[in-house]
Structure 1
Amino acid sequence: MPHKRGLTMRVAVIGAGVAGLVTALELAARGADVALYEAAPELGLAAASWLAGGMLAPRCEAESADPAIVVPGLAGIDWWSGHVPDVARHGTLVLAPWRDRADLARFARRTRGHERLDADRIATLEPDLAGRFAEGLFFAEEAHLDPRRTLEALAERLRERGVALHFGSRVAPADLDHDRIVDARGIAARPELPRLRAVRGEMVLLRTREVSLSRPVRLLHPRSPIYVVPRADGLFMVGATMLESDDDRGITLRGTVELLNAAYALHPAFAEAELVETGAGLRPSYADNLPRVTRNGRVVSLNGLYRHGFLLSPAMAAEAAAEIFAETLKDAS
C-alpha cells in the first residue's frame, strides 16, 4: 500500500487470535508491511480462538443474536473456503429430546433458512442418530472448520507473505511506532476499551470411534444447550457453556459434568469416549454482543466478537483494513 512519499505503510497487529491473524492477512494482501505481536509464547496458548467450536453458523446464531450477523456470516463461509483447507460445508443439524420439542419449535420460529426434518430424514443425514430423535432442523448453508488447524494455516500463510510473527511479545499500542496499529487483543484490551465485558466459555474434547457425525449438532435443552462438532481422528468438541464472568480458571466440575451429560443425551456411546482435553476461556463482548471497529488516532481496535470470532472475523478484518486505508489516503492527499 503506497504511503507517504511512496513508502510502504507499516502496520502492527497485536493479538494472534483469529481476529488478529485474519486482519494481518487482509492487510498484507493489500500491500501493507505487517508485523504481528502476540503475548503468548506460541500460537494458541491463552487464546479463546484455540478453544472455539469452529462453527460457521450464522443462521443458527441468529436465534439468540442480532440478525445483522447473518449476511456477513454467510459471506465469511465463502472467505474461509477460499483461504484455508478443510472447510466442511455440510450444514448444521439442530435437535431436541422429545420432552423439549417446544424449544425446537421456538428455535424454528426465530430463525430462517432451515428444513424441517422427520426421523427418517435425520437418519439419512446422520445414520448414527437413527431412531434417537423424532424431529429436527437442518441449516444447509452452514459450515464448520477445525479452529486449531485453521489458526496454524493462517500463521503459515502470513509467513509466506513475509509477515513477521513475534510471539512472547507483550506489547500495548503505545509501545509501538508503526504508522497504524490494529489492537485485536480480545479481553486483554479492556484497559483501553472499558466497555468490554467477559463471557466465559467452557469446552471438552472427546475421542470415540463409536459415534460418527458429518456436521455440527446442536442439542437444545432449557438448562444446558450444547453443540457437538466433529473433527478428525475421532475427536468431538463439546461446548456452549456461557457465563457472565471474569473467572479465568480452567473448566469447573459443574461445567464438565453438564457438557458430558449433554453429550451422553445426544448419543449414549459418548459415555465410553476418552476425555482428551478440557478448557475455558473469556470471550470479549460488548453489551449488544456485536463486534466493533473503532479508531483512536493511529490505533484501530477490532474487538467484541463474542462467540462469533471465526464467523465474523473476515468481515471485521475488511472493515478494519478499509478504515486504515481510508485514513492513509486522507493523509496522502
Structure 2
Amino acid sequence: MTGTVTVLGGGVMGLCVATELTRRGIPAAVRDTLPGPNACSWWAGGMLAPWCEGETADPAVTRHGLGAADWWQDQGVPVTRNGTLVVSLSRDGGALTRFARRSQGHRMLDAPGVAALEPDLGTRFSRALFFESESHLDPRQALAILSGRLPRSEAASGQVIDCRGLSARDALRDLRGVRGEMVVIRCPDLSLSRPVRLLHPRMPLYVVPRGGGVFMLGATMVESDGRGPPTARAVLELLSAAFALHPAFAEAEVLELGADARPAFPDNLPRIRRVGGTLYANGLYRHGFLLAPAVARMVADHLQHQTRPEFMDADHD
C-alpha cells in the first residue's frame, strides 16, 4: 500500500499498530494525545501471562499471547521474565487445584519451593503454581517508549485505523465496557520478584512489583463503562486481599488510585472490523499488553498482504 496510515487512539492498541506498520516500512502516524491517565492502558498491570489467562480465557488468548514478551522486548521495552506465582490461602486450597486443572504451563511447588522463589513469603503458602515462562513489564514505560518513536498527525488522512477503545462505540455498537480498578502502594519491607496471584474467594488479587518497594494491586472486573475514581469498596477489598497475602501490606503507603473501563466484545476476544473505509482494531478486554502485539501483526498483514486475520469479522467487511 502507499501513503501514510493514520492511527486513531494513543493507547496500547494504537501504539502497537503504528509501531508494527512502521517496522514494516509502512509510514504511520498517531492522531491522539500522549499516553496518560485518559487511556485505560495507563492503569494496566502489564502482566504477560498467557498460561494464567488460559484458566478462563479462550484458547486463542494463550496461543496469540505466547509471543507478546518477545515482541515487546524487540521494541526495546524492558521485560522481566521471572514467571508468575499463583497461591491460595490454606482454606481455599480447592481454588488452587481448580486453577491447576484449568490451565497449563505450570508446575506445583511445595512450601520450601515457594520460599526459595519468594523468600519474603516464607512458608505462608503450603502449595503454589509456578508459571515459569511468563513475564511482566511496566505499562507506562512501554507506552512512553513506543509513543516517543512515532510521529503525530493533526488530521486523519489516507487509510485510517481506529483504535480508540470505548470511544469507538459510535461505530462498534456491540462494544461494552469492563471496569477495572487498581491501587499503587509502596511497601519497602516486602520484596517480590514476580507477579503473584492470590486466589481469594471474594477478591482474586494480583500483585505486580514495580521496583523500589512499589507494587500495583489489581483485580476488579465490573460490567460497567464507568471511568471515574475507584469505589471505596474496591479499594478496601484490594487492600484486604493484599493483607491476606502478606501482613506487611498493612503498613504500605498508598501512592495512587485508578480506574477505567476496558473495551470488550461479547466473547471477550478482540476484533478487526472494516466499516466503510475505516479499519477498526478493538476489544482487547483485560488482555491489552498481552494481545495488542498479535492484533497489530494481523492488521499489518491485512494491509500489506490482503490476508484475512483470525480476529477479522466477516460480517462487517
1:130-279 to structure 2, matched below 5 A, reads: 130-158=122-150, 163-164=151-152, 176=156, 178-279=157-258
Q: Once the 2 structures are TM-superposed, how far is the Cα of residue 327 of structure 1 from its aligned partner?
A: 4.8
Indicate the residue corresponding to 1:171 in structure 2: none
SS of the aligned residue for 1:49 comes to helix
Once the two structures are TM-superposed, the CA of residue 135 in structure 1 deviates from its matched residue by 0.3
Q: Pick from 271, 282, 286 the counterpart of residue 307 of structure 1.
A: 286
**TM-score (norm: length of structure 2):** 0.94
Aligned counterpart in structure 2 of residue 102 of structure 1, from 81, 84, 94: 94
Distance in 2, matches of 1:237 and 1:45, equals 15
Overall identity of the aligned pairs, in %:
53
Question: 2-side partners of 1:191 and 1:64: how far apart?
Answer: 29
Residues 243-285 of structure 1 show CA distances to partners (whole Å, capped at 9, x for unaligned) of 0012221100000000000111111001111100000000000
Give CA-to-partner distance per residue, 1:60-115, whole Å, 9 cap, x none: 00111111111211111111122133200000000000000100000000001101
Give, in whole Å, the separation in 1 of the partners of 2:153 and 2:107.
44
1:174-205 residue CA offsets vs partner (Å, 9 max, x unmatched)? x73x2211100001111110100100000000
1:48-67 map, 5 Å: 48-67=40-59
Contact 2:179 2:262 in 1 (8 A): yes
- Aligned-partner Cα distance in 2 for 1:206–1:165: 36
TM-score by length of 1: 0.89
Structure 1 distance, partners of 2:158, 2:24, is: 15
Structure 1 residue identity aligned to 2:225: D
- Superposed, which structure 2 residues align to 1:10-49 within 5 Å? 10-38=4-32, 40=33, 42-49=34-41
Give the distance between the partners of 2:292 and 2:166, measured in 1 at CA.
16
Shift of the alpha carbon at 1:165?
Answer: 5.7
Q: Is the 8 A contact 1:300 1:324 kept in 2?
A: no
Q: Which residue of 2 aligns with 1:325?
A: 304
Distance 1:191 1:15 in 2: 14
Equivalent residues of 1:26, 1:321 under 8 A apart? yes
Larger CA Rg, structure 1 vs 2: 1
Secondary structure of the residue aligned to 2:148 is helix
Q: Write the deviation string for residues 197-220 of structure 1: whole angstroms up to 9, x where unpaired.
A: 100000000011111000000000
CA distance in 1, matches of 2:293, 2:274: 18
2:11, 2:129 → 1: CA distance? Answer: 32
Equivalent residues, number: 307
Give the letter for the 2:230 counterpart. Answer: I
Taking the aligned partners of 2:280 and 2:271, their CA distance within structure 1 comes to 8
Among 278, 285, 290, which residue is 2:264 paired with? Answer: 285
Distance between the aligned counterparts of 2:124 and 2:43, measured in 1? 29
**Cα distance, 1:318 vs. partner?**
0.7
Unaligned runs of 5+ in 1: 167-174, 329-333
CA contact (8 A) 1:179 1:298 kept: no
Residue pair 2:37, 2:43 contacting (<8 A) in 1 also: no
| Cα RMSD for the two superposed structures | 1.4
**1: CA distance between counterparts of 2:27 and 2:12?**
19
Q: Is the 8 A contact 2:6 2:153 kept in 1?
A: no
SS at match of 2:188: coil
Q: Give me the whole-angstrom Cα distance separating, in 2, the residues matched to 1:250 and 1:73.
A: 30
The runs of 4+ residues in structure 1 deviating greater than 3 Å are none
